[in-house]
Structure 1
């Protein structure tokens, strides 16, 4: 095994808010793609927690190929009812048994989907509104024998924090910190609308919020798509009034939080007399489909002007899948180093298959500004400390949960 190449360099090219032109997007927690990310990750957490509780270790698994097929609904002014349930398809690999112990995989998968959807819709009843299709297999890969997905002995399971673990794939990961003003505005706006305080004041609003932001120099523009629950909206006049009231609340939030109000366009579809109405709060109510990995990147944003990983981390195993582990680590390193040295930071991690988890092939830290010896030493120290404690990332993923969408 070769040692990790670590580089801490000073760079001076434009980034984030320094760019002349910037575009940012966020798919809210009620968007079908975001739902799939959340379902997949919760399934992995529940499965890992079950294994730890019953066996003390975790069976290998990955549930990152989740597809949500939307239902069907009757929607009109004053009426919104789901008439055909959502279907969540799980495809991936996992163990159904450990020795003589049956792992209730399908029950775990149903609960993961039910718990997630109940949090990001209004009026969701899993008994009426959800069906599950499980296509998870326990087939063995080349050279794996029986142990990977058909574990029979304790050594066939994985202990969290095992220092002998190696990367199960070749991966390229990126992170950065801090967010630009536009990025923070886009992320914050969706979090506001889908937050508890806003929903308490505006219980007729849905969850499938999508926010776009653009900036040309100092000219900020935002588009917000925000559904309403049809049963609470009795007419087009009511819809337009409520939309204006919610838009005002968002403008006040942006003014208070960022000291500016962008040119704000709310629900552009209603320019053609098409109100954004839903039954439970998502376009999944009317057949739209979601897929893991098609939405936000790990920091909750889609940022084409930034270094951006294309990995879909949600649902991947949290033990040795470096597309997930190093994706989390890249953003955590960027934030920790940036706060420690007082400069914006980009991080890049590359690993080859079978490299030790604590020894990825390359870790590159780019600091946007001047680096002196003290700052360089601080950054190198943080990288070394975090690589030596990769088990901490796994523990946080399994027991605390890390939002990656």
Structure 2
């Protein structure tokens, strides 16, 4: 199904990004790290990736006492890992889960040293295990769109600049609201107390975040940084992430597959991270829809492309229940152009297996 529409820029946009150290993003990262690790063990031991879905990670915040110059953690955060996974002979599942979680934390949150892990993963149902490599193991929706708007690109790119400021931790959140030509940015940046010696140094770091965001947002924009600060209540942390005390996290509550939360665009409720990369269409279709949309948006006359894929459990991944394309622009839908669009869809749907290595090697951005 292909539909054409005249392009009309939206009067307003709302775009959000939860940074790499945000509790929800960390939960996504843990889910995906465990999936990649399990996949490696399965490939080594069985020659194929077996059934697993570890997309039910919950991070429970701990307790901390931040203070200028360096505070302390009185109760570490804990990670509860739920889901289903096939056992291996090489190592117990609990060990694989604990090691993958520790590696993710170590590589993502530089100042987090202590945490607890509670693996609660059991083997999956036989009927779902039997679908590995044979067809879709769920009835799910995948959506993608292209290109990103200037506001979306700004939000996606700003996080790294904010984290580059001395004293800023990994837990950031950026919300952009554009109304016509006016842009309002709200930035939350967790400060790491060991790098902040006084209130003056805190305010200096906050001012630097403001300057970076203001420069990217441009003249006439409004920018707020750590807007909840009041009196002695400021966004000062020991570790640079609010899982030490301020907030919990869960897989699937954060960024979508393109790294953004965009309620004005098509989105699904799927938790992409942690699903197995061989047969879970909740993961595969969201990536394929993005790739299809990017190629279609580059066709002559297209300004924007939206792709929706819906699976039917048990059916081949290459044969979705629905494959729909919505194009905005001045394109003429000739028979040749329709065939070209369908060729793009066919190409990616038939090559879903080629994504497996990209998933396992961590080459795909999923959150």
- Aligned counterparts, 1:5-404, within 5 A: 7-12=1-6, 14=8, 18-97=9-88, 101-125=89-113, 129-141=114-126, 143=127, 148=129, 162=133, 165-194=134-163, 198=164, 202-255=165-218, 262-286=221-245, 288-341=247-300, 342-372=302-332, 373=334, 374-404=336-366
* CA displacement 1:102-135 (0-9 Å, x = unmatched): 443222211221121123222233xxx1221111
Cα contact 1:206–1:226 (8 A) shared by 2? yes
CA shift at 1:48, angstroms? 0.2
Deviations 1:194-214 (A, max 9, x none): 3xxx2xxx3311111011110
Q: In structure 2, do the counterparts of structure 1 residues 74 and 273 end up closer, same or farther at CA, with 3 Å as the change threshold?
A: closer
Aligned residue for 1:107, secondary structure, equals helix
Equivalent residues of 2:226, 2:235 under 8 A apart: yes
The alpha-carbon distance between structure 1 residues 203 and 286, as it changes in their structure 2 partners (threshold 3 A), is same
| Cα distance, 1:370–1:249 mapped onto 2, change above 3 Å | closer
Q: Name the counterpart of 1:153.
A: none
Please tell me whether the aligned partners of residues 143 and 306 of structure 2 are also in contact (alpha carbons under 8 angstroms).
yes
Shift of 1:324: 0.8
Q: Render the CA deviation track for 1:182-240: whole Å, top value 9, x for unaligned.
A: 1111111113223xxx2xxx331111101111011111110001111112222222211
Alpha-carbon distance in structure 2 between the residues aligned to 1:89 and 1:242:
34
Aligned counterparts of 1:340 and 1:294: Cα–Cα separation in 2: 33
* 95 and 305 in structure 1: CA distance in 2 versus 1, 3 angstrom threshold: same
- CA deviation map 1:319-341 (0-9, x unaligned): 11111110111111111221244
What is the RMSD computed on CA atoms of the aligned residues?
2.0
3-state SS of paired residue (2:209): helix
Superposition deviation, residue 263 in structure 1: 1.1
Cα deviation for residue 79 of structure 1 reads 2.2
Instruction: Report how many residues are paired.
Output: 364
Aligned-partner Cα distance in 2 for 1:212–1:306: 15
Aligned-partner Cα distance in 2 for 1:274–1:12: 49
Q: Would the aligned equivalents of 1:251 and 1:261 in 2 still touch at CA under 8 Å? A: no
Say if 1:136 and 1:11 are closer, same or farther in 2 by CA, change over 3 A: same
Determine helix, strand or coil for the equivalent of 2:96: helix
Question: Given the two structures, how large is their TM-score scaled by the length of structure 1?
Answer: 0.85
Structure 2-normalised TM-score? 0.93
Report the 3-state secondary structure (helix = DSSP H, G, I; strand = E; otherwise coil) of the residue aligned with 2:361. helix
SS of the residue corresponding to residue 302 of structure 1 reads coil
**CA distance in structure 2 between the aligned counterparts of 1:287 and 1:208, rounded to whole angstroms:** 11
User: Would the aligned equivalents of 1:26 and 1:210 in 2 still touch at CA under 8 Å?
Assistant: yes
Stretches of structure 1 that go unaligned for 5 or more consecutive residues are 1-6, 149-155
- Aligned residues of 2:131 and 2:137 also touching (Cα < 8 A): no
- Alpha-carbon spacing, 1:187–1:234, altered in 2? closer, same or farther (3 Å): same
- CA pair 85-43 structure 1, distance change in 2 beyond 3 A: same
Shift of 1:247: 1.8
